[in-house]
Amino acid sequence: MDTPPPPPPPPVNWDALDALVLDFARSDRLLLPLASPSPVSSPSSSSTTTATSSSSCAPSSSSSYRSRLLIRRARRALEEGDVDAALALLRAHAPGALLDHRLLFHLHKQRFVELVRRDTEADREAALDCLRTALAPCALDAYPEAYEEFKHILLVLLYDKDDQSSPVANEWSIKKRFELAGLLSSILRAHLQAYDPILSMALRYLISIHKLLCSRQGISSPISDLTEQLLFDDRDPPAVPQECSLEAPPFDEVDVQALAHAVELTRQGAVDSLKFAKGDLFQAFQNELCRMKLDLPLLDKLVHEYCIYRGIVEGAFHVLPGVESNNQNNDNDVNFIHKQETNTETRIECEMTNNQNEDCSTSDIAHHGSWSRRLRRVRSNTSGQRRRKRWRGRVDDLDYACETSLDANKHAILYSGLDMDEDDMAVKVDFMADSGLSDARYNQDQKYEVILEMRDLTRKGMASKVVEEINNMDPDFFLQNPILLFQLKQVEFLKLVASGDHVAALKVASTHLGPLAASNQALLKPLKETLVTLIQPCEDVLTNSVSLPVLASSLQVRLMFGFCKLLASGIGLQSQFNEFILNTLGSTVVDYNLFTICGNA
């Protein structure tokens, strides 16, 4: 007995989904800025306005990026034990955060420990000076327990850092650095209103409730590889409300319970979070979501792959994460990029010339030759047409030198990048040499290009060409997707009717539409409705009967999943990611107020 075909994918709001992904890429500067007037927009660029307008109440993209970069730099400095660098950044760019005496006390306490840890005579003197001039005065008004903690931290002067039995072994622990770095991040994020892009927060929320659901019901997650790798179990410490906020009026219990259940907090934790947010439920929800830790390099990789799949960015070659170099200018970068493009196009042209016998297979994957031949025709046919956006990767310039003391010049270098506007930021990218591209990666990019071309041909109504090309590449595709074949042949029929060629239209109906409907009763009704167009006026028959963009998107989704089966090795995580966002974000009417999603969960 034949296995029934898989159910059709859920309806996808592609505009909203592309807007979320593009907003993430732009917010974190993952795309190369345009060096020339904007080219023709990509299929998904029309949705950018949605993402932009959704953030109208938030700080500008440029200022938010600089704030998040500041937070990452301060966090890195604390994790490396350079409290002086973190304090310098705060004094220069977020002095208001230092008005929180609780935070300031923790910073001075960690600075004292780090000075003692260095164990030089000069550092010992600096540690004692820190005690007298900073730590002791701060302990008097930080919070009630601060003075007791101050007296306890003095024991660091007596016990060795390697003595695990000492009463201050916890104060010596490197873990303290990361806890303080997380606390600082939580406070700065709220103080600067530097929240992560909507996509990042939505993924945190959806993955967390997915994992919670699987845990409570005792079932295994079908996307466990994705959820376990993308979202870490630990969170940053919560920001504790200052003493002046402790007398806040009681909160609505509905709000307290909603927050507690949404992000897995105790009731007291939800109350403290609302106190820190001064009663703003949405801000408290954002604060708690951003405490969850995502694997950013992995997320960048998955978003990059999605952007290639959707035709938002180019996929001809891989962009390595770049490191800024002060010895090159923007003109050199542009020239270098142009040179790499020229080399890539030259290599493709050589392949087209030298591989007439079609013996250039780089993989033993089934039908690879057909995909490769299709791609060479795509490249030759689209030469000189619109170009998609370019991926640059995450370039945060976080690898600055952390030294004991920083003079004015070093401080200027340390945070000069924070004062740059988006258009002024130097773009430094390294491209992998074309000869260094792995066969699997190049083959993967080829197939994405072909999928995009099939989508574009479908949007143009070139259904017969699409069917021919797909059958050449994968003869089994339409056996597994008969409804798509029916819809494409329906388009071909309607085009012939619109042109007045009723004889050819009836031939398509008898050869394809009739047999497909005979084997699937659900297609009988659309078949009858299609045949009725024979007696209708020819004008606008196709436009009134079929939505070509919807059909193109459906074909793209099914081609993508079929493509994932062909490339079963190496892209399992990407397949899970695509399916996850399609089945959750994509099938949801996306409201950029995340708490609306939370309330409807």
pLDDT digits (tens, 9 = 90+) for 226-274: 888 999 989 999 988 776 544 556 889 999 999 999 999 999 999 999 9
458 to each of 13, 469, 490, 491, 538, how far by Cα in Å? 18, 12, 12, 9, 20
pLDDT at position 449 is 77
Q: What is the pLDDT of residue 330?
A: 38
Q: How far is CA 150 from CA 114, 130, 141, 240, 465, in A?
A: 15, 12, 12, 19, 77
pLDDT at 70: 92
For residue 362, the 8-state DSSP code is -
Name the helix (H) or strand (E) containing 146. helix 146-153
CA 103, CA 451: separation in Å to the nearest integer? 52
User: With a cut of 50, which residues of the chain have pLDDT below it?
Assistant: 1, 36-58, 245-246, 316-366, 379, 382-385, 398-417, 419-437, 566-570, 587-601
Q: Which of 66, 146, 148, 153 is nearest to 104 (CA)?
A: 146
Two structure tokens written together for 56: 């109208």
Q: How many residues would you count in the chain? A: 601
Helix (H) or strand (E) holding 233: strand 231-235
Given this model, what pLDDT does residue 249 score? 64
Closest to 484 measured CA to CA, from 14, 18, 16, 6? 6
Determine contact, residues 231/206, Cβ cutoff 8 Å. Answer: no
Give the span between the Cα atoms of 506 and 38, in whole angstroms.
45
Please state, in angstroms and rounded to a whole number, the distance separating the CA atoms of residues 168 and 171.
Answer: 5
Residue 371 phi, psi dihedral angles, 5° rounding? -60, -45
Residues in CB range of 467: below 8 A, 6 or more apart = 478, 485, 488, 489, 492
Is 459:549 a contact under the CB 8 Å cutoff? yes
Check residue 391 and report its DSSP letter: B
Which amino acid is present at 537?
Answer: P
pTM over 0.75: no
Q: Do 23 and 51 meet the contact criterion of CB atoms below 8 Å apart?
A: yes
Strands (E), 281-392: 292-294, 319-320
Tell how strand 231-235 and strand 319-320 pair up. Answer: unpaired
Break the chain into its structural domains and give their ranges: 62-192, 198-298, 443-570
Alpha helix segments (H runs only) across 382-480: 408-415, 439-459, 463-473, 477-480
Cα 121 from Cα 123, distance rounded (Å): 5
pLDDT of res. 239 = 87
pLDDT for position 472? 86
pLDDT reported for residue 244: 55
